[in-house]
Amino acid sequence: MDYNEAKEFLNRLLDRERAVRPSYPDSLDEYREFLRRMGNPHNGLKSILVAGTKGKGSTAFFLYEILRKLGFKTGLYTSPHLVEVRERVRFNGRCISGRDFGRIVGKIAPHVESVGFRSVFETLTTLAFFYFRERETDYSVFEVGLGGRLDATNVVSPCVSVLTDISYDHTHVLGKRLRDITREKLGITRKNIPLVSQAQSPMVRRYVREFFHGDVFFVGKDEKVEIESISMDGVKFIYRGEEFFIPIPGAYQAMNAATAIEVVIRMGLDFDYKNVKSALKKAFWPGRFHIISKNPLIVLDGAHNLKSTKVLVDNWERVTGESPVILFTAMKRKPLKRMLLELKRIADEFVFTTLPLKRALGIDLLKKKGEEAGLKSKGFGSVNEAWAYVKSLNRPILVTGSLYLVGEVLKEEGVSPCRNIQRIDR
C-alpha cells in the first residue's frame, strides 16, 4: 500500500466500525490474539503509558522531547491527529513517513480482514508497535486513547505509568463517578512499577491510593511546581530547585512539563538538567493555547470538556485582557451550556460551526444552547465559511471546543504539524 491507499483503508475500516459495534471494547483478549497472530510486535518495547483526562498528550510530548535530548532513540504515539494521521506516530523528532505508514498498514490490513473487525485505533496502535520495533527505540511513549484499562495501548508492559489530571469526560464509557473514572485510568498501572501522577483533587488522590498500592509520586503535592511568570511567549517555572521555560503559555503546561521531568527521575536515568531545560525550551505542542498570530491575536486551543475550558479561560485572562470572538463547536455528550457559560466570561460574540463527523453537534443545537446561555452568536454550516467570517472581523479570535476544529482551522491556514509547523507565528 502507499500512503493514500492506507488512508482509504482506514476510512473504510472507520465506516465498518461505526456500523458493526461501539468503538470501546469490553476486553483486550481479542486484540491480544490479533497481535499474537502478527508476532506480538509490542513485546520487547520499553514503554511508558500516559493516561488522564487533561494534559496527557502534552505530558507525553514533553517526555518524548526530554528523552530524545538525553540521547535515547524515542518513539511517541498520540491521538487524535490535527491535520494528517501521520502525526500520531513519531520517532526522533519526525512523523512517520507516508511510505512507511502505507507499507506497515499494508502489512496489517490482511490480518484485519481475516478476523473480520479491528478498530481504527487498534490498527494505528499496531502500526506504532511495528514501527517502533523496526526503529529499535530505547523508549516508546504511548498516550492512552480513552480510559486506560481497556485501551489498546495497555497491552504493553510499561516501565513507568503516568497519570495526568483526572476529571469528568467520556462518562458514557468510563462511568459517571470520579471513583469509576479513576479506577479505569489506573488500569495502566502494574505491580512493582512506579506511578507518577499529577497532584489531583483530594478525592481523586484518595481513589488512587485505594486502587493502587505501589509506589506513587504526586507532582505538585509531593514536590511543588512554582510558576515564576506567564506571557504569550510561554511559562517560566521552578521544579526541584531548577528553573525551566516552555514556549506554551499556561500554568497547567508547567504541571505537564514537571510531570515529564519527574518521570525521568523515577526511571532512574542519569541526566543533566541542562539537557532537560534545552529540550523543554524548544518543545512546542500544536493546538494547545497555540498562538498563530499576535496582531490580531489568534489562539487555537482544543479544550473539549468543562475543566479544560475553565483552565483555558483562566489562562486567557492571565495572558491577555482582550475580548475575543470565539469560533466554537463541540462533540455530543459534552456539558455544552456550562462550557459556553465559562467562555462567556471572556467573550461577547460567538460563531458556531459544525464538522462532518457523526459525533459532531449540529448548528441548530449549538445556537439553541447559545441562546440559553445568553450569547450573541452567528452560525455557519462549514468551517471554511466560519473561519472566513471571523477573520474578516479583524479582532482577537479564540478557536476552541474541539481538537478536530483546531485541525480544520490549521488546514484552512495551509499548516501541517508534520510538514510546515514552522510557518506558524509563535
| Sign of the CA dihedral running 38, 39, 44, 49 | positive
pLDDT in tens, 27-40: 999 999 999 999 99
Share of the chain above pLDDT 70, in %: 97
What does pLDDT average to over the chain? 94
- Whether residues 256 and 330 share a domain: the answer is no
Q: In the 8-state DSSP scheme, what is residue 312?
A: H
pLDDT in tens, 353-390: 999 888 899 999 999 999 999 998 999 999 999 999 99
pLDDT in tens, 52-70: 999 999 999 999 999 999 9
User: How much is the average pLDDT of 310-333?
Assistant: 94
Write down the pLDDT at residue 123. 98
Is pLDDT of 245 > 60? yes
Whether cis (ω within 30° of 0) applies to the bond prior to 41 is no
The whole domain housing 372 covers: 290-423
Write down the pLDDT at residue 172. 73
Write down the pLDDT at residue 243. 99
Last residue of a domain, one of 230, 257, 281: 281
Domain of 394, CATH number, reads 3.90.190.20
- Whether residues 54 and 23 share a domain: the answer is yes
Confidence of residue 419 (pLDDT cuts 50, 70, 90): confident
User: How much is the average pLDDT of 168-183?
Assistant: 83
- Whether residues 267 and 299 share a domain: the answer is no
- Whether residues 111 and 216 share a domain: the answer is yes
Last residue of a domain, one of 281, 306, 337: 281
- Whether residues 173 and 50 share a domain: the answer is yes
Domain of 188, CATH number, reads 3.40.1190.10
- Whether residues 112 and 84 share a domain: the answer is yes
* Element holding 39 (H helix, E strand): none
- Whether residues 243 and 301 share a domain: the answer is no
**DSSP output for 105-157:** HHHHHHHHHHHS---HHHHHHHHHHHHHHHHT-SEEEEE-SSSSTT-GGGGS-
- Whether residues 294 and 321 share a domain: the answer is yes
Burial 277-296 (b: 16+ CB within 10 A, else e): bebbeebbbbbbbbbbeeee
Confidence of residue 349 (pLDDT cuts 50, 70, 90): very high
Write down the pLDDT at residue 168. 78
| Per-residue cell: 118 | 479491528
Is pLDDT of 240 > 50? yes
Share of the chain above pLDDT 90, in %: 86
- Whether residues 258 and 353 share a domain: the answer is no
Write down the pLDDT at residue 357. 86
| Per-residue cell: 15 | 465506516
Write down the pLDDT at residue 420. 59
Confidence of residue 24 (pLDDT cuts 50, 70, 90): low
User: How much is the average pLDDT of 314-341?
Assistant: 93
Look up the pTM and report it: 0.93
Write down the pLDDT at residue 37. 96
- Whether residues 240 and 301 share a domain: the answer is no
* Element holding 381 (H helix, E strand): none
- Whether residues 27 and 173 share a domain: the answer is yes
User: How much is the average pLDDT of 104-114?
Assistant: 95
- Whether residues 262 and 119 share a domain: the answer is yes
261-268 — which CB contacts under 8 Å span 24+ positions?
261/66, 262/196, 262/217, 262/219, 262/223, 263/48, 263/63, 263/160, 263/162, 263/196, 264/63, 264/66, 264/67, 264/70, 265/240, 266/160, 266/194, 266/196, 266/217, 267/159, 267/160
Strand partners, 399: 300, 327
pLDDT in tens, 187-234: 999 999 999 999 999 999 999 999 999 999 999 999 999 999 999 999
Is pLDDT of 393 > 90? yes
Grouping H, G, I as helix, E, B as strand and the rest as coil, residue 262 is: helix
The domain total for the chain is 2
Write down the pLDDT at residue 22. 56
Last residue of a domain, one of 253, 281, 309: 281
Rounded-to-integer distance, Cα 17 and Cα 110, Å? 16
